[in-house]
């Protein structure tokens, strides 16, 4: 195994029988040059990216971004894989590293981008948010930079999106934004502001996530009997109108339709909030 290209002190490209591979390891390229043998005792990770575009993007990341940013990002990714115990899409090595490095550059200049979805992220992607908090501690320890919770939220989104079958970042953001807007509509309808740390808030956010995911995927759910739906409409008239307004809003703004049974379930959540919060 010989070095085909040096990307930085800790990353090289090799050519194998099945194509190019990116090999990473502490000091693996230190004082080395092209065609030198690879010190296999230093190999920590080997990346085989079948998508040539991603391969080239990763090479660019490794050869242009600060090595300490790359190392921290890889530690975060390894921690995420250990905690979540799922296969994480290889694109995370590009997306998270690039985002993190740019974020650290911005923070060094005193620029903070507000994460308007932070409260929803904490509830919807709780495990990933904990990984983001690990990243916050690691970055402080390794780089001496304190990242705000807004950035912790962005890291959580990248981790969630990179889990196999989690979908693209744009889709994740769209669903999270939709849920935030539904909650804002319900708060406006009830003329209250739900405290994010309350059980009512967490229950509502969690229910809305599953409602949106079920409707989007066509996944079967327990559809309420039409008579039960009618009873809920009549018994909790104001709450149902509130749920209906939320449903109409997401249809108009996101071209997304919630089943009437889902609106009935949301009605019961709204009614619970009314009886517990408006006392």
Q: What integer pLDDT is reported at residue 195 of this predicted model? A: 76
Highest mean pLDDT among 19-23, 115-119, 129-133, 210-214: 129-133
Q: Are residues 192 and 265 in the same domain?
A: yes
Classify 22 as helix, strand or coil.
strand
Domain CATH code at residue 28: 2.30.24.10
| Domain housing 130 | 67-162
Last residue of a domain, one of 162, 178, 201: 162
Q: Mean pLDDT for the chain?
A: 85
Residue 279 binned pLDDT confidence (cut-offs 50, 70, 90) = very low
- pLDDT, tens only, 15-62: 877 778 898 888 898 888 888 888 888 888 888 877 788 888 888 889
Question: In the numeric block, which tokens belong to residue 51?
Answer: 């998508």
- pLDDT, tens only, 222-251: 567 788 888 888 989 999 999 999 889 888
- pLDDT, tens only, 121-146: 998 899 999 999 999 999 999 999 99
Strand extents, DSSP E, the chain = 3-8, 11-16, 19-24, 45-47
pTM attached to this predicted model: 0.72
Q: Are residues 60 and 108 in the same domain?
A: no
What's the Cα-to-Cα distance from 278 to each of 173, 193, 207, 270, rounded to whole Å?
31, 11, 20, 11
Q: Are residues 39 and 72 in the same domain?
A: no
State the burial class of residue 276 (Cβ atoms within 10 Å of its Cβ: 0-12, 13-18, 19+): exposed
State the burial class of residue 14 (Cβ atoms within 10 Å of its Cβ: 0-12, 13-18, 19+): middle
List the one residue out of 149, 277, 279, 131 whose CA is nearest residue 204. Answer: 277
Last residue of a domain, one of 127, 162, 197: 162
Q: Is the pLDDT of residue 69 over 50?
A: yes
Q: Are residues 269 and 179 in the same domain?
A: yes
Q: H helices of 19-90, where?
A: 52-64, 67-84
The strand pairing partners of 20, in sequence order, are 15
Q: Are residues 43 and 54 in the same domain?
A: yes
DSSP state of 88: B
Q: Are residues 175 and 273 in the same domain?
A: yes
- Who wins on pLDDT, 201 or 140? 140
Q: Are residues 123 and 158 in the same domain?
A: yes
Q: Are residues 198 and 271 in the same domain?
A: yes
What's the Cα-to-Cα distance from 233 to each of 23, 108, 190, 262, 270, rounded to whole Å?
61, 54, 17, 12, 12
Question: In the numeric block, which tokens belong to residue 62?
Answer: 């490794």
- pLDDT, tens only, 262-272: 888 888 888 88
H or E stretch at 275: helix 260-277
Domain CATH code at residue 174: 1.10.1790.10
Residue range 152-171: mean pLDDT, rounded:
81
Question: How far is residue 279's CA from residue 275's CA, in Å, rounded to a whole number?
Answer: 7
User: Structurally, how many domains does the chain consist of?
Assistant: 3
Classify 178 as helix, strand or coil.
helix
Residue range 169-190: mean pLDDT, rounded:
86
Last residue of a domain, one of 162, 188, 222: 162
- Who wins on pLDDT, 197 or 251? 251
With a pLDDT cut of 70, the percent of the chain lying above it is 92
């Amino acid at each position: 195994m010989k070095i085909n290209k040096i990307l930085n002190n800790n990353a090289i490209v090799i050519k194998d029988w099945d194509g190019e591979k990116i090999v990473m390891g502490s000091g693996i390229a230190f004082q080395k040059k092209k065609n030198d043998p690879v010190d296999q005792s230093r190999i920590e990770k080997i990346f085989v990216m079948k998508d040539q575009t991603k391969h080239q993007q990763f090479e660019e990341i490794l050869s242009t971004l600060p090595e300490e940013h790359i190392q921290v990002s890889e530690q975060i990714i390894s921690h995420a894989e250990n905690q979540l115990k799922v296969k994480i899409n290889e694109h995370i090595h590009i997306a998270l590293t690039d985002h993190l490095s740019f974020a650290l550059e911005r923070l060094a200049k005193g620029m903070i981008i507000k994460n308007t979805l932070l409260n929803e992220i904490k509830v919807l992607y709780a495990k990933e948010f904990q990984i983001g908090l690990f990243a916050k501690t690691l970055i402080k320890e390794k780089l001496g930079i304190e990242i705000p919770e807004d950035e912790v939220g962005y890291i959580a989104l990248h981790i969630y999106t990179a889990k196999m079958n989690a979908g693209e970042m744009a889709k994740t953001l769209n669903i999270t934004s939709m849920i935030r807007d539904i909650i804002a509509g319900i708060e406006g309808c009830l003329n209250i502001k739900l405290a994010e740390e309350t059980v009512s808030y967490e229950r509502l956010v969690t229910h809305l996530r599953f409602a949106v995911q079920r409707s989007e995927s066509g996944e079967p759910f327990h559809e309420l009997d039409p008579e039960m739906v009618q009873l809920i409409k009549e018994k909790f008239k104001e709450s149902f109108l509130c749920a209906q307004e939320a449903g109409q809003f997401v249809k108009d703004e996101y071209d997304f339709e919630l089943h009437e049974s889902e609106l009935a379930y949301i009605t019961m959540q709204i009614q619970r909030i009314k009886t517990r919060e408006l006392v």
